[in-house]
Each structure stands twice: as C-alpha cells, then as structure tokens.
Structure 1
Amino acid sequence: MKRRTAQSTAYHNIDWLLLACILVMLSFGLLMVLSAGSVVGERDFHDKYYFFKKQFAFVSLGLVIMCICIYFPRKIINSVHYLAISVTVFLLLLTLTPLGIDVNGASRWLPFFGFSLQPMEFARIALVLYLSYFLSTHQHLGRTFSKGVIPPFAITGILCLLLLLQPDFGAAIILLAILFFLCLAGGTRFIYLALSFSMMTTLAVSLIMNSPYRMRRLLAFIDPFKDAQGTGYQLVQSFYALAEGSFLGVGMGNGRQKLLYLPEAHNDFIVSVIGEELGLLGITIMMSLFMIIFARCYKIVIGQKELRDKLTSFGLSLIIALGATLNLAVIMGMVPPKGVAIPFLSYGGSSMIATMICVGLILNYSRTTALEEKPNTVSGKTTNPAMQKLNKEYA
C-alpha cells in the first residue's frame, strides 16, 4: 500500500519574531522623526515636537488597526476585493475634484477629519486583494490573453490613469510592479508579461519625454551635481548627509543636513538623516531588521495552503518590500526621486496606516500554515500530533 499525504490548515499563534521586529522599527522611526522633524516643526508650527506627536498618534492608531486585522475573519478579507477597488477608484476621483488638496501642483490628498488622506497608499492594498482573487479563481484562464490577462491589466490601468492625472508617476509605476510580480507568481504566461512590460516601458518613456518636469528629474538623477542648487538639490544633500555620517555617524540629534538643508528630512529622506547621525552602522542595523522582516514574510507566504492566501500574503509583503527598496534606491541615487516613503520610518499618516494594515493582514496569515498529514499505513489515521489536535477541535 502506498503512503499518501494530504494537507490541512492549522491555526496557531502569530509570528512573534516578525511582530517584535516591526515594533522595534516603529520605535526607531519615532526617534528619527523626533530628530529629523524638530527643526521644521519649530519653524512652521513653533513646536519642535509637532511631527513627533502626530507620528506617535499615527503609530498608535496603526497598531490598533493592525490588531484588528490580525484577527479579522478570513472569509471577510476574501470578499472585499470589489468593494476595495470601488472605494479606491472613488477616492482617487475625488482628488481630481475641488475637494482634492493641491500641494506643489499635485492633487493627491483629501481632507479627512483634520488630516490629509492619500488614497494612493490604499490603492496598493486594494489592487493586491483584487489580483489575488482574480489570479487564484481564474487559474484556467491564466494562459489566455483575452480573459486571463486583459481584466487585471484593465483594472490596474484605470488606477494608474487616475494616479497619472494627479499627477503621481511614481505611484503608478509601483502599481505596475505589483501587477507584474503577482501575475508572474500567479501563473500568467511569461510571453504576455514580456509583451505587456515592453508596452508599459514604451509608454513610460513617452510620458517622461513629453513632460519637461519629469525630464528635469531624470537628468538630475543622471548628474545631480550639474544642477546642485536646482533639480539635483535633494540628491546632493542626501549624498552629503550619507558621506558626513561615515561609519559611526555624528551622533543622534547632531545631524546638520536636517537644519533646513535636506528637504523632506523627516519623510522621504529620513534614511539620509539616519545615515548622517548613526552612520553605516545604523543603516546596517536598519537593513538587517528589514531583511528579517522579509524573511519572516517569505516563510508565511510559503506556509499557506490556499493559492489565494499565498498570493495575498505575497502581495502585501511586496508592498512593504517595494516601498523600502525604492526609498533606499532613491536616497543612494540609484533611481530618480519618486517621493516614496520608507515603511515604519517615514513621517506620514496615510503611509503608516496602510503599512500597518499590510502588517496586520500578514500576521493574520501567519496564524495559518499548511500541515502535511501522513496517514498510518495500517490504520489510515494521521500520526501528526498537530493534525490530531486539529481534528479533535473540528470534530
């Protein structure tokens, strides 16, 4: 008699190591926002603790939302994909109306109970939920173009179009990256992805070539010191901060670039402040924490039994990974500046809440893993203790 194996799902505690790393990152982020935002807070609001107090409120709210997401019923999570996409499209449309808050020529925010809500941050989560649903429930169509490729690309295209109208070119690129990697993981034929990638690249180049502002940012990225007081100013100041920090840094709170030299020091370029004040050692510790977080996320993804759960947890992890990777690439001058906040560290309510939703859902998925059931060759009963306990609970 051949021994056959089957799989079932066991429920257990959350991934405590992942949670511990995230709490450390949040605490570290609060300290750096206090350091990096004190000068701007004093100048604009006469309160050097202004950004720290707001960030503390965002983190506290985010932790509450994370706890809710951890124990949110999986059935509800798997049923809100269309609602999430609809609400996201509605909010993105609102940013294009007089209700949208215009900052530096871009209308990306909405007023929300005294705060500014950025729908783009939540569009990524909505897209992951939809793509995970579509790719898992339409596996038989994944190798056909008209029914397996066009629908997810069309939904992503609508979201990208609304983002480009704001305009927010960088956010649209991130959505396309999420689409590409999820379709790749979901079994879409590579030839379709290659053709689509070529078309999207051509469109992106066209948009850059026909936009003087984007062309200036691209040229500044290629040679930021050529216009160090203009379009290359942010990158140049970021390089100065990283160079000044050397190995051990100048000390917490002693950085000079945050003294109104480095724009967005408490937000998009907070890693530059970390590099200056804590040096290469601080950057290394930060990146090590990110590596542990990504490793735990990977373990959670491969531990899921259902394809939809795998894709959803992978997509949510991808949101965090893309944010961290692109932000680090920007401050080191490896890609053009895109205004991408680094998860857990950068100041910002919408980005913090969206990140904590991702974390909460990932920890939700960490509570389930696929167990291999090995039936006894004689009695046919399982010999896996965890499976025996699970069978008794559901008996």
Structure 2
Amino acid sequence: MNEAGRVPETAKHPDWWLLVAALLLAGFGIIMVLSASGIMAERYYGDKYIFFKKQAVYAALGLVAMFSIYRLPRKFFYNTTYLWILGVILLLGLCALTPLGVSAGGAKRWLRLGPVSIQPLEFAKPALVLYLAYFFSRKQELVKTFSVGFLPPFFATGVLCLLLLLQPDFGGAVFLAMLLFFMCFVGGTRFIYLLLSFLFAGGAGWLLISSSPYRFKRWTAFLDPFKSAQAEGYQLVQSFYAFGSGKLFGAGLGAGRQKLFYLPEAHNDFIMAVAGEELGFIGLSAVLLVVAILLWRAFSIAYRQEDLQDRFTAFGMASILALGSVLNLAVVLGTVPPKGVPMPFVSYGGSSLIVCFVCVGFLLNLSRSAVRWRKS
C-alpha cells in the first residue's frame, strides 16, 4: 500500500480501449483502401473491389493472429525467441539472395511462397522486439558493458539490416535501427555507446545516400519538392495538394481527386493524404485521436508491467506501432525523405496489417498482467 491508501492489483482482463482503437483503425483502413484504390483497380484489374476484398481478408487473418496470441501463454513466444529471429533472417535471406524474392520498384522486398507474397521486413519487427526484450531482461547486470550490453543486440540487428540493404531497402533498415535504439535506451545500454553508434549510423547512412544517385535525388527532392515537381518531387507535391484541397471539412468520402492517377501509391504509403483530402482537417484529426488513444494505451500497458521481459516486450510492440505512425505521417507531410513506411492498420498490405494485429495481440495478452491501483 502507498501513502495515498491505494493498493496494486493486476488487471486480469484485456485493455478494451486498445482493442476498440485497433478495430476502429482497421475498419477505417478498409474503407479508405476502397476509396483510394477503386478507380485504379477498375482500370487495371477490371474489379474496383479487388484491393478492398484483399484488405478485408488480411484483416480477418490479422484478427485470428491477434486472438491466438492473446490466448496463448506468453512463455510460448518467450521460449522460442531464437527460432523467431532465425526464421526472419532466413526469410530476409531468401528474399534478398534467391529468385524467390519478388522485384518491384528496383528492390526485392517481397517473398513469393506459392500463391502468397509476404514482406519479411514486417515480420522482422516483432521478432526483433522479442529477441531484444529477452536479451535485456536477462542481461541487466551486464547491460552497461560493451561486450554484453552493446555488441550482441547490435550484431543481431546489424544482420537484419544488412539483409535489408541487399534488397535494397534502406528505409526498412532505418526502421529496425530506430527500434534497436529505443529498446537499448530503455534496456539500459550506456548512453555514450548509443551516441557513438548514432553518429556512426548517421555517417554510414549519408554515405549510402550520397553514393546512390537515386537516393540523393530523393533527398534533394524532399528538401524542395516543388523544384522537381514533375520528377523526384512529384509524389510529395501531389500529397501536399491533397492535404491542401481538403481544407476544414474535406471533399467528402470517395470524392477526392488526387487518387485519380495523380498521387502514386494512393492506397499504400500515401493513403493518409487521400484521407486528408476527403475528410479534411476535422475528419483527419478524429482519426489521429484514435491513433493517439491506441498509442497511449499501448505504452501504458508497458509502463504497468512488473516483469522486465513483459515490460520490454510491451514497449517494443508499442514502439512498432508508434514509429510506423509517426514516420508515415512525417513522410506524407514532407518532414522526412519519402520512404516506404505504411500507416499502421490503414495502408493497404497484408504483411503490415497482420503484424499490426500481432503487436496488439501481444499488448492485449500483457494487459491482463498490467498493474493498476485501487483504493484500499
């Protein structure tokens, strides 16, 4: 009991706020995928509902994954941590180094397994979180040392990032590096090690950008997209037009114009620009409020865990959703260089949507052991 006369107790039930927020975002995503892709799908595939139907199927699979993870004992995942990380290394290797990798847009980011295509990067995110949570929870007494607290997690993440760079997927490697940074920060790695690794990663990233004409052009286009509005800056300029034309109340759901072959990837990474045009400032603010509730509940679950591995796992799963949301919005608003980062639960894509539900499944599982305070 504390001084205020309150005693701790475990919740013993799932976090309903988190669940409702996730379901609302997933439902909104399915509607926006239909709105953003219908015209394009009808022209190129003869079926305006093709992406809508696929996203609905992905959502159903995600719900099954979420419910399964919620029901299974978390020890099942904790005891198989190394199998998950080795599994995603294998998938990334098959994608980058074998003919099974599907090439699109100059990169092999998808792995075709029969009739199914998956994006290994998405599954690498929760696998990396499980590994880092396992590692930091068991190495707390040595986490400040260089040989134990720094080298193993950076080596494991470095292997994943190297395989991503071979695809090449620079944005995916940056995402995993950011995930590692935040997990190390809460895990207790010395700040000087994090600072030096950040400076090294920044220098290496700049070398990769400057040595690739394509990446360098995209970087300069981000700094002044209107200077190359018909070339590298085209996508970002069209995103600005979409947000600007939405004004306060939007053009109305389904009535947007930028998705009519002006804005590339309208139903994928730039779907929030379509939402901004059709729903306006008021509607988009409501969507972002739901995102804020989702992230608030996710990090609250992490904060209220007593077991270290549970706390690190919850923090990592919440960070996947937070980083995805922040980076996607930053891209479509032109505050960071354009990279392929889907909006969690909203952007079209099976791997991304299923992994978002996987993260929520872990958080719901952990919410049952979260500590809350009640009056004595």
Matches within 5 A, 1:95-110: 95-96=95-96, 97-110=98-111
Q: Distance in 2 between matches of 1:143 and 1:16?
A: 37
| C-alpha spacing 1:17/1:227, structure 2 compared with 1 (3 Å) | same
Conserved in 2, the CA contact under 8 Å of 1:142 and 1:187? yes
Larger radius of gyration: 1
**Structure 1 match to 2:316:** 315
**Structure 2 match to 1:155:** 156
Conserved in 1, the CA contact under 8 Å of 2:100 and 2:113? no
**Structure 2 match to 1:259:** 260
Q: Distance in 1 between matches of 2:334 and 2:86?
A: 36
SS at match of 1:109: strand
Deviation for aligned residue 1:166: 0.2
For the pair 1:131 / 2:132, whether they are aligned, the reply is yes
**Structure 1 match to 2:353:** 352
**Structure 2 match to 1:340:** 341
Conserved in 2, the CA contact under 8 Å of 1:249 and 1:278? yes
**Structure 1 match to 2:213:** 212
SS at match of 2:370: strand
Deviation for aligned residue 1:112: 3.0
| C-alpha spacing 1:270/1:144, structure 2 compared with 1 (3 Å) | same
Amino acid in structure 2 at the alignment position of 1:337 = P
**Structure 1 match to 2:34:** 34
Q: Deviations over 1:214-259 (max 9, x none)?
A: 1011011001111111110100000010011011001111100000
Conserved in 2, the CA contact under 8 Å of 1:9 and 1:305? no
Conserved in 2, the CA contact under 8 Å of 1:245 and 1:280? yes
Deviation for aligned residue 1:370: 3.3
SS at match of 1:95: helix
Matches within 5 A, 1:83-102: 83-96=83-96, 97-102=98-103
Matches within 5 A, 1:94-243: 94-96=94-96, 97-243=98-244
Deviation for aligned residue 1:115: 2.6
Q: Distance in 1 between matches of 2:370 and 2:275?
A: 37
**Structure 2 match to 1:380:** none
Conserved in 1, the CA contact under 8 Å of 2:11 and 2:372? no
**Structure 2 match to 1:81:** 81
Q: Percent sequence identity over matched residues?
A: 52
Q: Distance in 1 between matches of 2:222 and 2:300?
A: 36
Q: Would you identify which runs of 4 or more consecutive aligned residues in structure 1 move more than 3 Å?
A: 7-11, 370-373
Conserved in 2, the CA contact under 8 Å of 1:89 and 1:159? yes
**Structure 1 match to 2:48:** 48
Q: Distance in 1 between matches of 2:116 and 2:244?
A: 36
SS at match of 2:352: helix
- Gapped runs of 5+ residues in structure 2? none
Conserved in 2, the CA contact under 8 Å of 1:8 and 1:305? no
Moved more, 106-115 or 45-54: 106-115
Matches within 5 A, 1:224-303: 224-303=225-304
Q: Deviations over 1:48-79 (max 9, x none)?
A: 11110000000011111111011111211211
Moved more, 346-355 or 106-115: 106-115
| C-alpha spacing 1:113/1:169, structure 2 compared with 1 (3 Å) | same
Q: Distance in 1 between matches of 2:117 and 2:16?
A: 32
Deviation for aligned residue 1:372: 7.5
Scaled by the length of structure 2, the TM-score of the pair is: 0.96
For the pair 1:366 / 2:367, whether they are aligned, the reply is yes
Deviation for aligned residue 1:9: 7.1
Instruction: Output the aligned Cα RMSD.
Output: 1.9
How many residues in Structure 1 have an aligned counterpart in Structure 2? 373
**Structure 2 match to 1:58:** 58
**Structure 2 match to 1:15:** 15
SS at match of 1:110: strand
Q: Distance in 1 between matches of 2:167 and 2:298?
A: 32
SS at match of 1:102: strand
SS at match of 2:357: helix
Scaled by the length of structure 1, the TM-score of the pair is: 0.91
Q: Deviations over 1:13-41 (max 9, x none)?
A: 10111111111111111111110010111
Deviation for aligned residue 1:266: 0.6
| C-alpha spacing 1:11/1:252, structure 2 compared with 1 (3 Å) | closer
SS at match of 2:108: strand
SS at match of 1:368: coil
Conserved in 1, the CA contact under 8 Å of 2:250 and 2:281? yes
| C-alpha spacing 1:113/1:99, structure 2 compared with 1 (3 Å) | closer
- Gapped runs of 5+ residues in structure 1? 374-382, 385-395
